[in-house]
């Protein structure tokens, strides 16, 4: 049986990647624990009167309803509960704060259910909220797909390619540790105008990365997570919290969670700037070439000698996928990481990519198998368009590594503030 820790917390089946304790600490409640429960533990656990207020996540948002003596009208209408508050008589009252979080997420992405032909992926607890709010907010049509238990399954997807204008993912598909997966190909939808994904880890799922590449407005789950937690905390303690806290906490969490990724030509100074960034920020630096050596059990020249560039690139791609799952680190990539398009998604899914530039004549060749006898001008001509395609911004390594690191850190802070300034603007308009 799961042991009692603190009066407040989160219940769910698998909570290893949850950041809810951090959010609630920022909202003024550091006494917040994660409680992983098996289904048969739920009734006995909730009977412990030392528990005063809980959030509820997968897969218990519907299962807790029979264990509540009363429901808030919105939770009752939706048929899904994500917040429990102990009443004076010892019973539980259920609330749904996901609805508030969902509306905040939609506004942040410039999305609306009003008049939309909505396709919802998944039919669990959070999907019940999405369906109810989509109807309340005036969607034109609403279709729900799942493996079973709905009128349509994923096999029926082609029926909705022509008319769907808004897709909302309410499944765990694409979430760490299984990032990079998506249930749909957005290029199939002729009239698509918006995409939302309730997943917050990674920051940009494969679904959202495709939306970004296609220029389709999108919204990710961190806004929803922070906003629903804010309203949950209001229920926990019976006091109002300024909505401005959502952007304040969201910006801090995004900055702390996202990676700084350095790309650029071999010998452009990525590792040296990475060292300076590590000293400046206190973040851990991960050198992907060093990780490749560990993974292969041999040096990079040995990998090239035994299997050629193709063998190296395969190990590199595997390493990129593994190391991109880290949060809040500095990732220093090899110069050729951009030569494989599949490396972009894992790097970008939870990171901001900085292209380090330096004149070709100043590039170091030492210890770089492809650079030793290559025409670096020819290599640069081929790779520069790829660096620009991958990168969010460019940083010239033209002075000192410390100055380049400071420029990156200033940009990183400005970027996260700007992302959440858009939320604040949407909130006020």
Assess whether pLDDT exceeds 60 at residue 370. Answer: no
Distance between alpha carbon 425 and the CA centroid of its chain, in Å? 22
Is the domain spanning 8-97+226-242 CATH 3.40.50.10860? The answer is: yes
Banded pLDDT at 369 (limits 50, 70, 90): low
Domain with CATH 3.40.50.10860 in the chain: 8-97+226-242
Banded pLDDT at 176 (limits 50, 70, 90): confident
Helix (H), strand (E), coil (C) string for the chain: CCCCCCCEEEEECCCCCCCHHHHHHHCCCCCEEEEECCHHHHHHHHCCCCCCEEEECCCCCCCCHHHCCEECHHHHHHCCCCEEEECCCCCEEEECCHHHHHHHHHHHCCCCCCCCEEEEECCCHHHHHHHHHHHHCCCCEEEEECCCCCCECHHHHHHHCCCCCEEEECCCCCCCCCCCCCCCCHHHCCCCCEEEECCCCCCCCHHHHHHHHHCCCEECHHHHHHHHHHHHHHHHHCCCCCCHHHHHHHHHHHHHHCEEEEECCCCCCHHHHHHHHHHHHCCCEEEHHHHHHHHHCCCHHHHHHHHHHHHHHHHHHHHHHHHCCCCCCEEECCCCHHHCHHHHHHHHHCEEEEEEECCHHHCCCCCCCCCCCCCHHHHHHHHHHHHHHHCCEEEECCCCHHHHHHHHHHHHHHHHHHHHHHHHHHHHC
- For residues 320-346, average pLDDT: 95
Q: Which residues pair with 195 in a beta bridge?
A: 167, 218
Q: What percent of the chain has pLDDT over 90?
A: 84
Assess whether pLDDT exceeds 80 at residue 422. Answer: no
What pLDDT, in 10s, does the model give residues 232-249? 999 999 999 999 999 999
Residue with tokens 């040296």: 272
Q: What percent of the chain has pLDDT over 70?
A: 96
pLDDT at 288: 97
Reply yes or no on whether 61 is catalytic.
yes
Domain 258-417, what fold? Answer: Rossmann fold (3.40.50)
Q: Across all residues in the chain, what is the average pLDDT?
A: 93
Banded pLDDT at 366 (limits 50, 70, 90): low
Architecture of domain 110-219: 3-Layer(aba) Sandwich (3.40)
pLDDT at 5: 95
Q: What is the pTM of this model?
A: 0.88
- For residues 284-299, average pLDDT: 96
pLDDT at 83: 98
The residue ranking higher by pLDDT, 354 or 108, is 354
Assess whether pLDDT exceeds 70 at residue 128. Answer: yes
Domain with CATH 3.40.50.720 in the chain: 110-219
pLDDT at 426: 67
pLDDT at 1: 65
- For residues 160-169, average pLDDT: 98
pLDDT at 111: 96
| Choice among 5, 14, 52, 61 that is catalytic | 61
Domain with CATH 3.40.50.300 in the chain: 258-417
Q: How many residues does the chain have?
A: 429
How crowded is the C-beta side of 326, counted as CA atoms within 13 Å? 19
- For residues 98-115, average pLDDT: 95
* 51-77 as b/e: b if 16+ CB within 10 A: bebbbbbeebbebbbebbeebbebbee
Assess whether pLDDT exceeds 90 at residue 328. Answer: yes
- For residues 79-105, average pLDDT: 96
Rounded alpha-carbon distances, angstroms, from residue 386 to 271, 303, 340, 380, 381: 20, 24, 9, 10, 10
The residue ranking higher by pLDDT, 33 or 175, is 33
């Amino acid at each position: 049986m799961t042991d009692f820790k603190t009066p407040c917390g989160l219940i769910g089946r698998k909570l290893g990647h949850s950041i809810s304790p951090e959010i609630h600490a920022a909202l003024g409640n550091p006494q917040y624990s994660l409680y992983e429960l098996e289904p048969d533990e739920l009734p006995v656990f909730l009977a412990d009167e030392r528990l005063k207020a809980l959030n509820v996540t997968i897969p218990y948002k519907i299962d807790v309803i029979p264990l509540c003596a009363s429901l808030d009208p919105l939770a009752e209408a939706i048929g899904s509960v994500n917040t429990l508050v102990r009443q004076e008589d010892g019973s539980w009252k259920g609330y749904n704060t996901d609805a508030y979080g969902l509306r905040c997420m939609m506004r942040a992405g410039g999305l609306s259910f009003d008049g939309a032909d909505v396709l919802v992926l998944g039919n669990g607890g959070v999907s019940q909220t999405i369906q109810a709010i989509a109807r309340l907010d005036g969607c034109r049509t609403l279709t729900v797909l799942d493996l079973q238990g709905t009128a349509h399954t994923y096999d029926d997807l082609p029926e909705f390619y022509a008319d769907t204008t808004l897709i909302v993912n309410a499944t765990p598909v694409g979430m760490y540790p299984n990032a990079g997966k998506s249930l749909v190909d957005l290029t199939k939808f002729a009239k698509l105008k918006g995409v939302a994904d309730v997943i917050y880890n990674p920051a940009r799922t494969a679904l959202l990365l495709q939306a970004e590449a296609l220029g389709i407005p999108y919204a990710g789950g961190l806004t929803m997570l922070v906003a629903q937690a804010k309203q949950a905390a209001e229920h926990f303690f019976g006091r109002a919290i300024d909505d401005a806290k959502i952007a304040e906490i969201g910006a801090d969490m995004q900055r702390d969670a996202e990676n700084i990724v350095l790309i650029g030509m071999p010998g452009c100074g990525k590792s040296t700037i990475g060292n300076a960034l590590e000293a400046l920020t206190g973040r851990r630096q991960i050198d992907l070439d060093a990780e490749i050596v560990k993974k292969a059990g041999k040096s990079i020249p040995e990998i090239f000698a035994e299997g050629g560039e193709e063998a190296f690139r395969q190990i590199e791609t595997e390493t990129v996928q593994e190391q991109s799952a880290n949060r809040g680190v500095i990732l220093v990539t090899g110069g050729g990481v951009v030569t494989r398009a599949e490396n972009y998604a894992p790097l970008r899914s939870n990171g901001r990519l900085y292209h380090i530039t330096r004149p070709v004549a100043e590039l170091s060749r030492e210890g770089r198998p492809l650079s030793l006898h290559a025409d670096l001008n020819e290599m640069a001509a081929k790779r520069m368009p790829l660096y620009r395609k991958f990168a969010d911004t460019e940083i010239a390594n033209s002075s000192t590594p410390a100055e380049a690191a400071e420029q990156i850190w200033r940009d990183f802070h400005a970027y996260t503030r700007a992302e959440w300034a858009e939320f604040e603007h949407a909130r006020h308009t």
